[in-house]
Amino acid sequence: MSQQTDSDDSSYPPLFRPRKTSQILRVDSDEINQKVQEFDPLPLIDFECINHKKLDEACREWGMFRLINHGIPLTHLKKLHDHAKALFSLTYEKKETSFSNIPISYFWGTPGLTPSGVAIQRGSSPLQNINWVEGFHVLLNLLSQLQYDDPTLESFRCVLEEYGRHQTRLATTIFEALALNLQLDCKRTRAYLSPATGHLRVHRYPCCYEAEQLQAWGIDVHTDSSVLSILHQDQVGGLQVYSHDQWFDVKPQFNSLIVHLGDMMQAMSDDIYVAAKHRVKVNKHKERMSVGYFVFPYENTVIESSKYKPFTYPDFRAEVQQDLKTVGHKIGLQKFKLNKTF
């Protein structure tokens, strides 16, 4: 399968390609690297020896923490990113035709994640609710049923499958620790996390030379709808988290993972824990890649909480989809509050 060079804009969705009239500013890598902060604000959790007190504090104050000693070999993480980079460099048209079905499908723009209804203007074409991102959506429970004739695609599938097994291991152990902290009973602990629902999203955030003019975001402000999300990012910064009434840059560290709490975890905890509010900035000079894992409750599990009316994840998902159609953004948990404030 042929690849494109890094400078070949044909790999980008057409709306992400720089206009010929754009003045593209080139800077050397040293200048870019100087802009990456040294300070790392996130709480640090060691997977090999989980400190329950530190974990509890991180979930109450941040809804996000950095995970080290997670047991995924660095060689596998590098292989995952190398495969993703090779496939993202294919032409946009090739990606659309090669990944048009489950369990691996191609997407770009992810309009459903954008909370604002403000149009991004590019020339005379408004880009409503477009995030500056493309990616592959991967249903892990179906991966083993697929085999590609193309060796590059088959190798990518195998790497994703192995990575998914690691993510299931991590998510299960982390959730058990959270359930213990929250003193959830065994029945709810078993029902509130379904490994079979786990899926991956492999993201590429293209360079955006007109970021200020377009007011573009890689992904705009949102919380995940999951129980847990686990992110691995490359060494290009861009992820930000909101905590203590301000935005913090999440420092890129290739040998660690970033764990987010989602809306389902916040509801399960009676709002003791918070779903991480986060966003991704675009970069004028460098592409950014990340791989996110998302896991949910069992479909028929009723989430019981003193702060919310009883609901299942399908109830929540349907409400979010309705919100996107009617108001253009996700309202989320507020729709299920016993004392609504929106």
For the stretch 107-127, pLDDT in tens is 998 755 433 333 344 443 445
Expressed in angstroms, the distance from the first to the final Cα of the chain is 50
Task: Kindly list the distances between the CA atom of residue 212 and the CA atoms of 121, 184, 208, 238, in Å, as whole numbers in the listed order.
Answer: 11, 46, 9, 15
Cα 183 to Cα 141, 176, 216: the distances in Å are 30, 10, 42
The region of weakest confidence among 45-49, 187-191, 323-327 is 323-327
Segment 224-236 shows an average pLDDT of: 97
Distance of CA 129 to the CA centre of its chain: 17
The amino acid at 236: V
pLDDT at 20 over 80: no
Instruction: Give tens-digit pLDDT for 145-157.
Output: 988 888 989 999 9
- With the CA atoms of 276, 279, 285 and 290 taken in that order, what torsion angle do they form, in degrees rounded to the nearest 10? 50
Q: Among residues of the chain, what percentage have pLDDT more than 90?
A: 70
Q: What is the spatial distance between Cα 166 and Cα 221, in angstroms, rounded to a whole number? A: 28
Per-residue model confidence as pLDDT tens digits over 206-219: 998 887 777 889 99
DSSP type of residue 25: P
pTM, to two decimals: 0.89
Out of 106-120, 124-138, 257-271, pick the least confident.
106-120
Q: Which helix (H) or strand (E) holds 52?
A: helix 52-61
State the average pLDDT over residues 93-104: 90
Which of 98 and 84 is assigned the larger pLDDT? 84
The whole-chain average pLDDT of the chain stands at: 87
Mean pLDDT of 162-182: 98
What confidence tier does 329 reach under pLDDT thresholds 50, 70, 90? confident
Of the chain, the percentage scoring pLDDT greater than 70 comes to: 85
Residue 12 — pLDDT band, cuts 50, 70, 90?
very high
Most confident of 144-153, 212-221, 285-294, 324-333: 285-294
For residue 35, give every residue at least 6 positions away whose Cβ sits within 8 Å of its Cβ, in sequence order, or none. Answer: 237
The model's confidence at residue 159, banded by pLDDT at 50, 70 and 90, is very high
Cβ atoms of 32 and 286 closer than 8 Å: yes
Sheet holding 257-261, edge to edge: 44-46, 64-68, 257-261, 228-233, 288-296, 194-205, 134-139, 104-108, 100-101
With H, G, I as helix, E, B as strand and everything else as coil, classify residue 127: strand
Q: Exposure of 32 by Cβ count < 10 A (0-12 exposed, 13-18 middle, 19+ buried)?
A: middle
Structure tokens at 109: 């723009």
pLDDT, position 341: 57
Residue 302 confidence (pLDDT) above 80: yes
Question: For 21-69, how does the pLDDT look when each residue is reduced to its tens digit (9 = 90+)?
Answer: 444 444 444 334 434 456 788 999 999 999 999 999 999 999 999 999 9
Average pLDDT over residues 86-90: 95
pLDDT at 1: 54
Alpha-carbon distance of 171 to 164, in angstroms, equals: 10
Q: What is the mean pLDDT of residues 317-342?
A: 86
Q: Domain limits of the chain?
A: 29-308
> How many residues would you count in the chain?
342
What pLDDT was estimated at residue 32? 40
CATH of domain 29-308: 2.60.120.330
